[in-house]
Amino acid sequence: MELAQLGRVLLFVGVLIVAIGLALVFAERIPLIGRLPGDLTFGGEGWTVYIPIGTSILLSLLLTAAFSVVSWARR
């Protein structure tokens, strides 16, 4: 792998990490994320289990659409 190509990959990974970090910081302000139908929450004294099934499905659909558009645009 050439150094220029490695540099581009590292920049992309860095931008991706920043985007994920920003999403985590502002996640509480995004409506419905974490409270969609299908998101399960169980709890008791001193413990909580959260299973985000609905959010995972929505995120999967959005990422699939985004990657499909990028793939289509690169042709």
pLDDT (tens digit per residue) in 14-65: 998 998 888 778 877 777 666 788 888 899 999 999 888 988 898 899 999 9
- Residue 55 burial class via C-beta count within 10 angstroms: exposed 0-12, middle 13-18, buried 19 and up: middle
Residue 39 shares a structural domain with residue 16: no
Residue 26 shares a structural domain with residue 48: no
Query: What integer pLDDT is reported at residue 34 of this predicted model?
Result: 67
Element containing residue 43 per DSSP (H, E) = strand 39-44
Domain with 68 in it: 35-75
Residue 26 shares a structural domain with residue 39: no
Judge whether residue 68 has pLDDT over 90: yes
Residue 53 shares a structural domain with residue 75: yes
DSSP at 75 = -
Residue 12 shares a structural domain with residue 46: no
Rounded to two decimals, the pTM is 0.58
Residue 43 shares a structural domain with residue 74: yes
SS3 label, residue 18? helix
How many domains are there within the chain?
Answer: 2
Residue 52 shares a structural domain with residue 16: no
Distance of CA 73 to CAs 66, 67, 68, 69, 70, Å? Answer: 11, 10, 8, 6, 5
Residue 7 shares a structural domain with residue 22: yes
